[in-house]
Amino acid sequence: MKTRLLFLGPPGAGKGTQAARLCEANGMSHLSTGDLLRSEVAAGTALGQEAEAVMNRGELVSDALVLAIVESQMKNFSEGGWLLDGFPRTVPQADALEPLLKELEQPIEAVVLLELDDAELIERLLARGRDDDNEAVIRNRLEVYREKTSPLISFYRDKDLLVSVHANGSVEEITKRITEMLS
């Protein structure tokens, strides 16, 4: 099974849910930039204070800030592989990731794109009810995804790394689908 992975997809597609299951089952390191940013916010660090308002508007935190977090965490990657969840989210982040992975001599093996239609995304996020999960903010996050993150689909398709998975159905079904695609 491929164990050096990126998870890509719109907000609410289940990246965090599926990433946690896959990493647990396969002994991979799970790096979620969303979770790392939320811990900085909860701890009230300077970085968290800078990120909080941006996240609550449904915008993306600056590339420089996210890259600083990712770079420090990559040193702790497990031998068993890793999964970057919600990172990269922009083409500049993807460009910056390449030399970091080259230095580690650990190239990406696959980029998993989780796809789901907007109505279901909105329904799931409203049910989750995090601080950034109200309808106006969710719609903005979907716009931001289309504008800034979706160009990564062709970026990774051109590198022959993209694997698309339908993210509808039960959590277990989707994990099975992803695992089969990566075997």
Q: Which residues bind ligand B4P (CB under 6 A)?
A: 9, 11-17, 33-34, 37, 55, 58, 60-61, 66, 86-87, 89, 93, 124, 127-128, 141, 170-171, 174
Three-class secondary structure assignment of 85-134: ECCCCCHHHHHHHHHHHHHHCCCCCEEEEEECCHHHHHHHHHHHCCCCCC
For the CB of residue 16, give the shortest distance to ligand B4P in the complex, in Å: 3
Cα distances from 75 to residues 70, 88, 111, 124, in angstroms, run 9, 17, 21, 33
Q: Closest approach of Cβ 109 to ligand B4P, in Å?
A: 20
Q: Looking at beta carbons only, is 110 or 144 nearer to ligand B4P? A: 144
Going by C-alpha positions, the residue among 89, 96, 83 that lies closest to residue 60 is 89
Question: At its nearest, how many Å lie between ligand B4P and the CB of residue 7?
Answer: 8
Cβ nearer to ligand B4P, comparing 35 with 79 = 35
